Amino acid sequence: MAITTYPWLLALPKVELHIHLEGMLEPELMLSLARKNGIQLPFNTIGQLYEAYRFNQLQDFLDIYYQGAQVLITQQDFYDLTWHYLKKCQQQNIVHAEPFFDPQTHTARGIPFGDVIEGISAALTDAREKHGITSHLIMCFLRHLSEIDAFNTLEQAKPFLDCLTAVGLDSSEKGHPPEKFSRVFNQAKTLGLLTVAHAGEEGPALNIWSAINTLGVSRIDHGVTAIDDTKLIDYLVGTQLPLTVCPLSNVKLAIFPEMSKHCILNLLEKGVCVTVNSDDPAYFGGYLTENFYALSQSLNLTQTQAHKMLVNAIQASFANDNRKQAMLSQLTNFLNSNKHSMI
């Protein structure tokens, strides 16, 4: 994607709230880790992997997503995976990120929980100290597994609560409504963790209501099917409950047939607190800058709209008030210095 045509998009200070670290396994990194760890994959070349990255639906993506995650074995692997994303943050001027990780994907393979979270956390700390990139880590439960399994994962997380800010809910939405995990989310909240949940991606607006009412979420991840429910739109506008929308992902997984049909700017104009994110960029064809670029190309995104969604992301983040104010000032200063630039 030729984002070099719009260098200001790269320089624009950005915040990302919906990014899966396991979704950072680009073909080169996946094959490199597979060779290092002696993991046999059904793909031997970069070309075969890129061909496998053609999906028709969410489950097709999840199949290769979990298959690829098998190459992550050591604490250093999780550090390297996270650092790969953080280098992208530095290149794209993402100044704050709140990444997800899926521990059950790894502990089910016998990988110690501590190796996963300590590798990730070390990279996040290094990025903050070396590059000023702030972050908050979110542990997701896999909704296709049982709530008992989620409780076991939360128990494993207890020694590492100082590394975590929130819990989330991801994986296949169909057949696994949010209320399936209401008790484990309640327990997470008693431990001082915030909550977010994927809802309203391939599932109906009813799942968004359920995430709000049974999980008590601070944000909805995706949430695009809210457009089908006028009462829900009114609620989202009134409460300013954020939606972390992922445009390229939605098109890649056929939630929308093409970017020009995406509802994100419609939601924005209605007053919903929408944000732009990249989801699983290694698989979906673009990082955060590329998502903004795609919106500018297909939906004529204006600088005013981009500014509003970035302000939304800052305000919807789990950063403290001082950090939020610093990011807002950084964004305002940039836009004042580049007010004649066009998307």
Q: Which of 3, 82, 12 is closest to 339 using CA atoms?
A: 12
Q: CA-CA distances (angstroms) from residue 295 to 8, 86, 309?
A: 15, 23, 12
Q: Is 144 annotated as a binding residue?
A: no
Taking a C-beta distance cutoff of 8 angstroms, is the pair 282, 55 a contact?
no
DSSP letter string over 241-306? Answer: --EEE-HHHHHHTTSSSSGGG--HHHHHHHT--EEE--BSHHHHT--HHHHHHHHHHHH---HHHH
CB 225 within 8 A of CB 258: no
201 is catalytic: yes
Cross-sheet strand order for the sheet of 134-135:
14-16, 94-97, 134-135
Both tokens of residue 298?
């297909």
98, 201, 202, 290: the catalytic one is: 201
Q: Is 96 annotated as a binding residue?
A: no
279 in a known ligand binding site: yes
Number of C-beta neighbours around residue 230 at 10 A: 11
- Beta strand pairing call for 219-222 and 243-245: parallel
Surface-to-core class of residue 185, CB atoms within 10 Å of its CB (0-12 exposed, 13-18 middle, 19+ buried): buried
Cβ–Cβ contacts within 10 Å for residue 136, how many?
18
Pick out the residues of the known binding site for Zn(2+).
18, 20, 198, 279
**Annotated binding site for substrate, which residues?**
280
Binding residues: 18, 20, 198, 279-280
Active site residues: 201
